[in-house]
Structures are given as C-alpha cells and as structure tokens.
Structure 1
Amino acid sequence: MKLKHRMLVSLLGVGIVPALVITLLSLNTASSSLETQTFNQLEALREVKKSAVERYFKTAEGQIITTAEIPSIADAMASMTQAFTNLAPAQNATSSSLVRYYQQNLTSKLQTTNNKTLPSAQALVAQLSPQTMALQNAYLVNNPSPVGEKGNYQTSRQLPAYDRAHQAIHSFLRDVQAKFGYYDIFLIEAQRGTVVYSASKEVDFGTSLLTGPFQRSGLAEAFKQGRQLTDGDAVIVDFSPYSASANAPAGFMASPVYRNNQLLGVLAYQFPIDRLSEIMTERDGLGQTGETYLVGSDGLMRSNSFLDPEHRTVFASFMNPSEGTVNTQAVQRAINGEKGIDIISDYNGNPVLSAYAPLTAGGLTWAIIAEMDVKEAFAALNALELSVAVIFVIAVIGIVATAIIFARKITRPIGGEPEEMEKIVQTIADGDLTVSFNQDPNATGVYRSMREMTKNLTAMVSDIIGATSQQAAAAEQLSASTVETLTNFEAQNAHTEQVAAAMEQMTATANQISSSTSSTADAAEKAREMIHDGDSQVSLAVDSMRDLVARLQSARTKSDSLVRSAEDISGILQTIGQIADQTNLLALNAAIEAARAGDQGRGFAVVADEVRTLAQSTQDATGEIAQLIENLQRDSSDTTQAMVDSADAAGNVSERAESSISSLKQAVMAVEEIADMSLQMASASEEQSLVATEINQNLEEINTMTGENRQAMDQITQATQDLSALSQVLKGHTSRFHCQGKLA
C-alpha cells in the first residue's frame, strides 16, 4: 500500500473512529438520558395519579364519616327503619309484578353479561321479605322513571310513613351523590342488615344483606365490617361484580351511624369505576402508547385500560378474568410492596418502560402502574439516531475530504514512497551510485533532492576516482624517477671513490718523487713509467669526472622534473581538496534535507554523514600529501643546487686533472732531461702533491654532497611511498562506489 493510501487510511481512522465513538457515546448518553427522562416522567405521572387516587379515597372517607355524623342521617336511619318495619305485607299481584321486573331488568342482563346460569327471578323474589316486596313494588315497579333514573322518584305516595322519611333525606343524599359522583348511597339498619334507603333505587333496595339475595355481595361485606367500627371510622371494600348493578364491578365504603352512642346502622357509598378511571386515564404526558392503570391483588383491572379497551376495562376484566387478568412483573412487584422502574413486557407482550408502586387505601392493596411503549419512548432517540447518522455521514465526507488534502500535503514534501526511498538510500550507503530514479520532471520533495544529490554525488565521486588514478600514476612515476636517481647517485659515488683512490695513489707517488729526488737519475726510467701510469690514471680520472659532470647534469634535469611533478601533484591535490570541500558541502546539504524528512530521511542522513567523513579524510590526506610534496620540492631544490655545485666542482676537478696531465707530460720531458731538470722535477713534484691534496679535498666534498643527495633521495622515496599509500587509501575509499555501471 502506498504511503498516500496509508496516510489516508490513518487519517480516516483518526477522524472517523473518534467521530464514531463520540456518536455512539452521544447516542448512548441520549438513550440513557431519554430513558431516565421517560422514567422520571412516568414516575411523576404515577405519583400524581397515586396521590389523586389516595386523595379520592381519603376524601371519600372523610365525606362518608362526616355524612354519617350528621344528625339528620341518624334521624333518617331511625325513621326509615321504623317505617320499613311497619310496612304491610305485599299482595300476590305485587310478587308477580316484581318477578317480571326482575326478569326484565336484572336476570336477563346478568345472563347476557357473564353467560352463566343464575338464579331465576322467582328464586330471587322468593328471598325477599314482605316489607321488601312492598317497598320495591312502590319505588321500583310503580316508579314511572326508567331503570337507571329511579332515584329521581321523591315519594311513592303509597307508603305514607316511609314516604315522609324518604322525602326528608332523599334530596340531601341525592345532592351528595351527584356532587361527589357516587353510584349509590345506602342506609342500612343495624339489626337485620336491611337496606332501608338507596339513592339510585336498584334491586338491592329494601333487601336484607344478611339473609337476602345479596348477602354475599361487596355491599354486604361493607355492612358487616362497617357495623363493627366505632363512630368516626370508615372501611373500604374492594371491587367485585355486584349483581344488583348487573354484575358491574363495584366497590363500597361504609361508616357506622351512631346516635347517643347507639349504633343505628351503616351509611354506605357505592363508588363507581368511572371516577377512578377518569383519574387514571388522564392522557397528559402519556403520548400515544402511554397509560396509567390500577390492578387489584387478584390481577384484575381497577381502572379502564387505554390500550386494550376490549379485554381490560374493569368490567371486561371481571367478566372474563382469563383474558382480562394483568400479571406482569410490575404488577407482581407492586402487589408485593415494591416500588420501582424497569423495562418489561406489558400485558400485550410489548416492551414498555414501567413505573410501578403499591397503593394502599382503607385496607386495599392495589398496584398503580404507569407505562409507555419503548418504541414511543425512544422515538425521539430514533429521530436523533437518524439525525446523528446524517451528521455522521456528512462528517465522514468532510473527514475523507480533509484526509485526502492532508495526505497530499504530507506526502508531497517527501515526493516518493518511503520504502523505495529507504531502498535507494541503502543502495547508496552500500556504495552503488547507479541506482535508478524516476525521472518524472514533476517529482517533488525529498525524492527529487535525493535524485539531484545522487547525480551530483556520482559526478563528484567520478572526479575523485579520476584524480585518485592520476595521483597514483604520478606517485608511481615519481617513485620510478627516484629509483633511477638513486641508481645514478650510487654510480656517481662509485666513480668518486675510484677517483679518490687514484688521487691517493698519485699523492703517494708525488711524495715518493719528492723524497727521492736524490735518486732521480737512477729511477728516471721507473719514474717515467710511473708518470705514464699516472697520466693514464689522471686521464681515467678526467674521464670519470666528465662522466660525473654529465650524470650530475642528468640528475639535475631529473631533479627539475621531480620538482615540476611535485608542483603538478600540488595542483592535483588542490583540485582534490576543492572536490573534498564540495563533497563536504553537498553532504552537509544532504544531511540537512534528510533531517527535514525526519524518520524517513534517517537512512540517507547516515549516508550523507559517511560521505562527509570521507570528504574530510580526503582533505586530511591531501593536506598531508601537500606537506610531503612541499618537503619534496624543498629537498629537490636543495638537491638540484647540490648537484650544480657538484657539477662545478667536478668541472674544476676535470680542469685540474687536465692540468695534471700537462704536468705529467712536463714530468716526462723532465725525466727525459732528468739530469738537467732535477730541481724542476722537485718543484713539479711538490706542485703535484699540492694539486693532489686539493683534488682529494674536492673529492671528499663530492662524497659528502653525494651522501647528502642520497639522504634527500631517500626522503623523496619515502615521500613518494607515503603519497602512493595515501593514493591507495583514497582509492580504497572510492572503490566502495559504483559509478556509471563500473566499479570505482
């Protein structure tokens, strides 16, 4: 994968992953916040509804207790009880009319409602006392108001005593019923449990709750508990189907009626489901799927359901418990006294947010539930998720565009792939300058700089290689010239030693001639022969001196050539030094460029540092060579001057040798005329001795200069060897590099 693509992937990862994490965290936070908010809302609604229900029961308790303590209620209870007791028995016609009334308005409705076999109208009427039949006949059968409105009847005009008592209290209790929404209000005498008054006038009116057809009803239970209470207390009996009200679920509240601490009876309220359902079905804050409802300990509804009006109204729940029972986790926990919130499945099997709590009032234990469908509760979250998804997509597009721009900006200064550049740098570090570069004219950054630097480095190393070869050749030539000069010096030294030996012999002969002048005549012939020998030796000396002069001239010429070669070497060394300076500068520039490239240019920085070290070594070596060449030039100048002096001395020796030849010739002549020229021979011998001494001295000087010249040539030889060694070192350094397909 290319660097640009890797950078793009990295930048996308750096941008998208945090954005995704932030998005998920935001959604999670929003979900938690929304869940918490919804739960808080449900809890608030639950508590509001719970307070309203509790307040309703508490108000009802206060109302029934207050009403039971009103003196007129006690008076009505006493007068109605007395009037009921004194009622005349009903006629047979009355019994049959009641049977028809029951059949039309009670048993047919009961049979249709719960689809169960119930007692017949005749059986129900048979359980009525004569007084009950008389009372129901007067206020039910003969009441012109339709069923449900029988309570509007103020007086029957058939039962005078009861009618008076009824008329005295009925308006008041009907007002209480209407004002507070009770379904019915009862006055029940204490002894037989007879319902001596009913505000709504249903079939329970006038019946005994101890022996009559409704003795197992909720009203009978309320009466039984109510008459056990003390004055100022009240009791609530839970909902149950009440057959007198067509089996509609009904709850009852009862409070004893005392007068002068004597129990007269019980005041009872039948509170309908409507008021509780009105409280619980208030829709504010519940949306489309939210609801609050009440459930009894039996799992049946105590308020109508908003979401399942078919099976889970209070009436439907009691009529068909198999379908109307609510047995969710929330209900179970609330009935067990727990209070909390949770996500559960509701009675329809849908996931809901549920806030539940127990509700206790007057001995009742119900569950109050506030729930909302998860889908609706998190609908805002779904919308938020969609919005966040759109924002995330837009952000991703922006991140991708930004990543592409940044990837281009980051990779453009590099100009190439780091792996390729690293491979190129490693190849150059290994000494191969023939590495191939992309010749794209649009190349940028470090890659283009590396290409130009490699090109310049190749040219520089090629120049160094050429200069090194020239330097090595010059060193070899200088070494050969030095060897030849040493050979000439050795030959010159040998000839000089021969001349010195001859001159010593000549000096001895001259001394002998000088000391033997008294016997010259006798030894003239021998002297002549010896002089002839001396003449030959002197001729040889002259020839040797001439040869010495010629060789010294040749040595001088070669010394001059050596000086010129040393000057040429100095020029070459200056060129090498300039190249080394340029190399050092290029290496420094390369190191700077590599440092700018960071980690990607580290390998090239190593190469640049190696090249700069090599350039510095070259500078040091050329400096040492320049110093040696300077010493060589100085020694060569001294040698040349010594050679000039030696040549002059040799010339003088040659001239004097020729003079010696002339003297020897004169000696020959003197020997021939020895008799006459003894004194001249002695003088000539002395002169010869002096000349020989001088020649010996000159030869000693020549010997001395020859030794000095040899030492100088030894130094030149050593300098040449050092120059050759430095050339080999430089060649070894440059041999690491391949230029133009050849090994340097």
Structure 2
Amino acid sequence: MKGISLKVKIILMATLAVFVTSLSLTGFSAWRLSTLTQESVTQRVDGVSDAVSTGIERWLSSKYQLLNTLAEKPADKDVFIEQLLLTRDAGEFVAIFAGLTDGTRIGSNGRTLFVNGYDPRSRPWYKQAMAEKQMVLIGPYEDRTTKEMTFTIARPLNSNGKITGIIGADLQLRSLFKEITGFETGKNSQLFLLNNEGIIIAHQDQSLQLKPVNDLYQSLPPSQVRTLAAEKRLMEIDTPAGTKLVRLVQVDDSSWLLGVEVDKATEMASLNETLKIEITIGIGIFILVMLTVAVLVRFLLTDLLRMGRALGYIAAGEGDLTKRIETSNKDEVGKIATDFNHFIASLHTIISKLEHTATDLGIQSDMIAEKTEQNSRKIHQQQTETNQVADAIDQLSDATDSILSHVGNTSDQVRTTLKLGEQGITQVDKSQQSVKELADKLSTASQVVINLNNSAQGITSILNTIEEIAEQTNLLALNAAIEAARAGEAGRGFAVVADEVRSLSQRTSSSTNEIQHVMESVQQSAMEATDLMNSSGELAQRSVSDAIEAQSMLSDIVSAVQRISTLSEQIAAATEQQAVISREIHSNTQNIRSVADDLAHDAEESEEQVHRLSTLAGDLKKEAGKFVI
C-alpha cells in the first residue's frame, strides 16, 4: 500500500465497501431464496404425497366397502352369484369369488366343489383372512394367466354371526397406478409404490417391478423403508440421473408405501436463474459505483494535486525559497498550502542566518587546528619515553608471575592427587563391601535354585502318578467299551461315554508327557544356574582380597603426596611475596603509561575533531549556498 497513491487508495476503499455490502446482500438473498425454495418443494411434495395416499386409501376403501356389503349376504342362496357379478362390475374387479367352509367355491360360473382338485380352503387368501378374521390385502403378485401385477382383498363371510367362508376379489395394480398417476406432481417427477419389505410393486419403469428399492436408489436399504416413512422427511438421494428428492408415506389400511420423487436440479432451476440475475445486477452496480467514485475523488483532490506539482517545482529549482504555492480554496487542502508557504518563509530566514554562521565557524576551526597539532607532537614524545620504562617493568613482572604460576600449578596438582587418592580409598572400601554383598546374594540365589530343582523333582513325581492314573482310566474305559459292545443297542450310550473317557485319558497322558519334558528342562537349567552361581561366588571372594591389597597401596601413596604438598606450600609462600612487590611496581608503571596513552589519544581525537569541524563548516557553507535566498 506504500506505493499506491491517495486517489487510488480512496477508490479502492470505497469500491471495497460497496463490494462487501453487495456480496453480503446477495449472499443473504441467496440463502433466503434457497430456504424458501426448499420449504416450497417440501410443502409441494408433502401435499402431493398426502393427496395421492389419501386417494389410494379412498380407492381401497371403496373396494373394501363393496366387499363388506356382499360379505353380509347369505352365500347359500342362488341370488348370491348374481350379486357377485354385480359387485365385480361395480368395483371393476378382475375376478370375485368366495370359498365356503365345506370347500365349495362360488364364482361367476356358479358353485363348484373340488373341481380339478381345487380347494379354496388351501389358498393363501382364504387362510390369511380366516386367520385374521378381518379384511386382508395380499400381494401384489404376477397373475399366472394375464401376467399382470395383481393383488387380492379378502374377508370372512358372516351368516347369523358365524363365519361361513371367505369372500375375495382380484384387482389389477395397473388400474390403481393409473388412478394415482393422474395427479400433477410437476416436471421430472414420478410416483411409485413399495410394500413394507421395500419391494417395488408399481413404477413407470415396469422392469423395476418386484425388484428391491435399492435397484432404484442404491443408497436406500429395503429394510429401512418403514422407518423412513414413519419419519415423513424429504430425503436427498444421489442417482446416475442426478440428485433426487424422495419422500415415503405409509398408505393406511394397507401394507404399501407411496413414494414421491422430484428432481432437485429442476426444482432449484428458478432459484439458480434468480441468483444469476442478482449477481449480474450486483456486478453492474459495483462497476458504476467504482466509476462514480473515481470521478468524484479526482474532482475533490484537484487542489491537492496542484500543491504536489508546486512542491516538485521547488525541489527541482535547486532550493529556490522565493517560490510560493498559490491557492484560492478555503478547505483543508487550501489550509495545508497556506501553512506550507509559512514554513518556506521561516526556512528562508533560518538558511540566511546559517550561511553567516558557517563562515565564522570555518575561521575559528582553522585557528584551533594549528594549536592542536603543536600539542599533539609534544605528547607523542612523552608517550614514547614512558613506554620504554613500562616495557622493562613488564618483563620483570611477567617472569615473577610465571614462577608463581608454576608453583601454584604444582601445589594444585599435588592437592588434586591427594584428593583422588582419598577418593580411591573410599571407592575401594565401597567396592569391597559391594563384592561381599554380591557373594551373599549369590549364595542365597544358589539356595533358591536348589529349592526350585527340588520342587521340579516333586512335580515330576506328581506327573508320574497322573500318568499311572491316566493309564488305569484308559484301561477302565476300554473295558467299559467292550462291555457296552456286548450289551448291544442298550449299551450304545454308555459306549459313547466310554470312548470320551478314553479320549480324555489319552489327552491327559499326552499333556502329562509334555509337562514332564518341560520340568526336565527346568531341572537342567536349575543345575546349570547353581554351577554358575558357585563360580561367581568364588570370583567375588577373590575380588574382596584384591580390593584389600589395593586399599593398602593407595594409603601409602596418599602419605607421600601429603609430604610433597607441604613443601609446595612453602615454595608458593616465598614466591607470592616476591610477586606482590613486582605487581606494585608494574601497577605504578601501567598507571603512568595509561595516563600518557590517554593524553596521546585525546590529542589525536582533538586534532581529528578540529579537522572534522573545519570540514563540516565548509560543507555547511556549501549547502547553505545552494539555497536561493
């Protein structure tokens, strides 16, 4: 942003504000339209599904009513056949029939009894209606004769309060589906029927009939259709043909589910078109506002740009302080120009005074430079003589310090050796004690291993006893099996038990052998561990003896080192006294040389500062001369 002009910054900020506002309004509008569209689709699908399911319920109810009316008529009268025909035509049934409890079948062709072995009492519609004692709906199923999808409704026949048989009627599903497809569901939408097991029973694509619903919607398991229908929610399902919105509704008085499918892209098309129009309008408004702001900013910043050009002229005119900015505006920009003119006037006065001061400063700096140079030569001569004396004293002090350093190092080494010897004695004592403890623990561990070996031998004895018992059990089981075989059929069960007992005794014997092999391995390992621990105990005893001898030798070394330490301390005291005297002489000499060095350094700095002052005076006069005053 540093390299961008004020004009561009103002335009960018204004357009950014318009852009954010337009984007926010468009986003809110899109969200609101999307919400309203989804609610509208949901309401329309709910309305269609409720209307169609109600239509199916009424259609079924009318069929049930016809059958209920006929079920109360006496079936043993000849007029009943005529009533069957009238009911068939009135209800548009494919077929209507009745089966009596004695096996008689009543149909449009009259009464028949066991013709071609047909017994209505063995048919599913008769059995289910008789079992439930109420109206039942069976199917749909494919009719063997017409190959049409057909379903059956049936209910008991009543006479004087008694069930005398079952009356049923067949209906083609095509007629029902024709009824429901007459409802207006919208573009790219369809209706279909499922049973409670998730099997498609009616669909525009007849190849899907009697197929599971996941052949239509892969992500919809057949086992969940009843749950989804109970939730009554609009599902969003992805299909190869695009995203579909599906709702399932339970049809009352039946085992059917009505499905309503609409295409999401079709339903959202109007929303997308509206969003495109809003975005286009927003872009147009954004461009118009950007152009308007650009023109307005250029008009408002005219005086400011004029002042910038005037400043450029002053800078390009080699510091001409006689120029001023002309302005007639009384706004903030005009006030800035007036204040700038006042600033230039003040600067003109300051530069004039500065030029005279620079001339006087140059004359004074030349005089000071001459005096400083004379003092510097005298101080350098004094510094040379002082350095010669200091060098000689430095050599004497260095020699004394070297002697003292060597004596001190010797004393330190002796003390270190003495300390290490004492630490060695302590460490040998600890090692001796540790080895003794190790020997004791090895002895204890050896005893534990011996006890382990004894326990293993005891376990081996127990295993031998178990092996003998298993052999006796095996013999007893074998004898029992022989006796069972002699007993024939009566002893078969006992023979099975004897075989199982013998099998268990054999498995016991096998397991006992495996355990015995493991215990033998444990005994062998225990004996080897005992031998190793005995050897380790002997080594530990020898280590104790060696540690005692090492402790004695270290004590002798410590005594000798103590005597050397005493002599070193005496030598160090004498050398320290000599070093103190040398350091005092060296310190005094260094103070003298330091003072001489400081004087020489100050003289050089003074000479250098005088030269810089003279140079600055010349530069100041030169720079002040650049301004036109």
- The alignment's TM-score, normalised by the length of structure 2, stands at 0.48
Higher helix share: 2
- The alignment's TM-score, normalised by the length of structure 1, stands at 0.41
> Bigger relative contact order, structure 1 or 2, given CA contacts below 8 A and separation 6+?
2
Flag the structure with larger Rg: 1
